[in-house]
């Protein structure tokens, strides 16, 4: 059942990404983060009241840290979605599994135990080879920059996922965890709008405006499913099922946006997914219980 929650969550996130892609034609990244946070905040407040879940938490700083990491990843991912093919942006964000493996390898190097992490190091190198294939040198500079931002979203997601697992082990309800992340997104979006400016509604297309509410609702549902899957005790199957989001995104990318991705790009996606799966399997042998991998 945990794996089904993850597949459902991945579907919600991929569908949310479609809305972000459309809305980015009229709104800045900070504005989309703001609206996503506000809508999710209202939605989760209603849900928590209906379920009579208390808002008070015994681990406020864990929520703060999780929100900082998660909102950083969210903003970077939204920027990548706006400037890259949808499937490419989704794949770069899902590099989080490879980044976690890179953190493990880095720790082993610091402690002089790199010789024990040969297979895991190979998955990390394969993952980065996939990135090179995906972001081939023929991309123009704007796309290359967006690709680097997409990679940063994956790093933030990797750190946020680990914090998500820690919150689950601390006994935090899924609704409360999603609620406080929504608070963080709304606050960060507000600060960004103060400095970057606000888009007048008179210049906004109705298609972009129509997606603002669904983006927040889909994000809340996706986070709820993902949090439920991981907080129930992460399993190998749950960790690998997150890559179903790339399949959904590829379908949307081709069907709705007609994105043109070269064969090498598709091959790069496949390499990244396979290296992420291999890294997940190997991590369970090295650090059991660390698979918990945010939007």
- The two tokens of residue 275 are 């290296």
Q: What b/e string do you get for 130-159 counting C-beta neighbours within 10 Å, with b at 16 or more? A: bbebbbeeebeeebeebbebbbbbbbbbbb
**If pLDDT is split at 50, 70 and 90, which confidence band does 1 have?**
low
Predicted confidence (pLDDT) at residue 165 exceeds the cutoff of 70 = yes
Task: Say how far apart CA 80 and CA 88 lie, in whole Å.
Answer: 9
The band of 68, judged by pLDDT with boundaries at 50, 70 and 90, is: very high
Distances, alpha carbon 189 to alpha carbons 12, 143, 175, in Å? 21, 24, 21
Give the C-alpha separation, 12 to 254, whole Å.
Answer: 18
Q: Which residues of 175-203 are buried (b: 16+ CB within 10 A; e: fewer)?
A: bbbbbbbbbbbbbbbeebbeeeeeeeeee
User: If DSSP codes are grouped into helix, strand and coil, which group holds residue 209?
Assistant: helix
Rg (CA), the chain: 18
HSE, side-chain direction, 13 A CA sphere, residue 91: 30
Tokens of 36: 């996503």
**Helix, strand, coil percent content, the chain, rounded in steps of 5:** 80, 0, 20
**pLDDT tens digits, one per residue of 242-288:** 788 888 999 999 899 888 777 888 888 888 888 878 877 776 665 54
Q: What is the mean pLDDT of residues 192-200?
A: 92
Rounded Cα distance between 58 and 197, Å, is 36
Residue 13 token pair: 């996130």
Q: What pLDDT sits at residue 235?
A: 57
Nearest to 43 by CA among 228, 190, 214: 214
- The pLDDT-based confidence of 230 (bands split at 50, 70, 90) is low
Contact 144, 278 (CB under 8 A): no
Burial class (CB within 10 angstroms; exposed 0-12, middle 13-18, buried 19+) of 72: buried
Q: Where are the domains of the chain?
A: 2-286
Query: What's the whole-model pTM score?
Result: 0.85
Residue 142: predicted pLDDT: 64
**pLDDT band at 220, cuts 50/70/90?**
confident
Residues in CB range of 168: below 8 A, 6 or more apart = 177, 227, 230, 231, 232, 233, 292
pLDDT band at 16 (very low <50, low <70, confident <90, very high): very high
Convert 102-122 to b/e letters by CB count within 10 Å (16 or more is b): bbbbeebeeeeeeeebeebbb
């Amino acid at each position: 059942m945990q794996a089904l929650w993850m597949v459902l969550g991945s579907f919600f996130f991929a569908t949310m990404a479609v809305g972000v892609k459309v809305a980015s034609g009229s709104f800045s990244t900070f504005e989309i983060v703001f609206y996503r946070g506000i809508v999710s905040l209202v939605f989760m407040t209603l849900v928590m009241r209906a379920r009579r879940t208390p808002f008070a938490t015994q681990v406020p700083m864990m929520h703060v840290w999780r929100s900082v990491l998660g909102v950083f990843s969210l903003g970077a991912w939204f920027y990548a979605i706006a400037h890259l093919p949808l499937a490419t942006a989704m794949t770069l964000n899902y590099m989080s599994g490879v980044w976690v493996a890179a953190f493990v390898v880095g720790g082993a190097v610091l402690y002089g135990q790199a010789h024990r992490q040969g297979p895991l190091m190979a998955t990390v190198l394969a993952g980065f080879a996939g990135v090179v294939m995906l972001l081939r040198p023929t991309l123009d500079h704007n796309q290359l920059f967006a690709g680097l931002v997409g990679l940063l979203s994956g790093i933030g997601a990797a750190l946020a996922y680990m914090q998500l697992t820690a919150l689950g082990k601390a006994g935090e309800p899924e609704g409360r965890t999603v609620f406080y992340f929504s608070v963080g997104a709304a606050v960060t979006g507000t600060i960004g709008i103060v400095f970057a400016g606000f888009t007048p509604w008179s210049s906004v297309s109705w298609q972009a405006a129509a997606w603002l509410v669904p983006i927040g609702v889909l994000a809340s549902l996706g986070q709820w499913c993902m949090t439920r899957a991981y907080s129930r005790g992460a399993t190998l199957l749950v960790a690998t099922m997150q890559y179903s989001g790339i399949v959904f995104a590829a379908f949307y990318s081709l069907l709705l946006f007609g994105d043109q991705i070269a064969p090498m790009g598709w091959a790069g996606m496949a390499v990244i997914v396979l290296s992420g799966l291999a890294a997940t399997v190997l991590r369970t042998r090295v650090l059991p219980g660390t698979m918990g991998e945010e939007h």
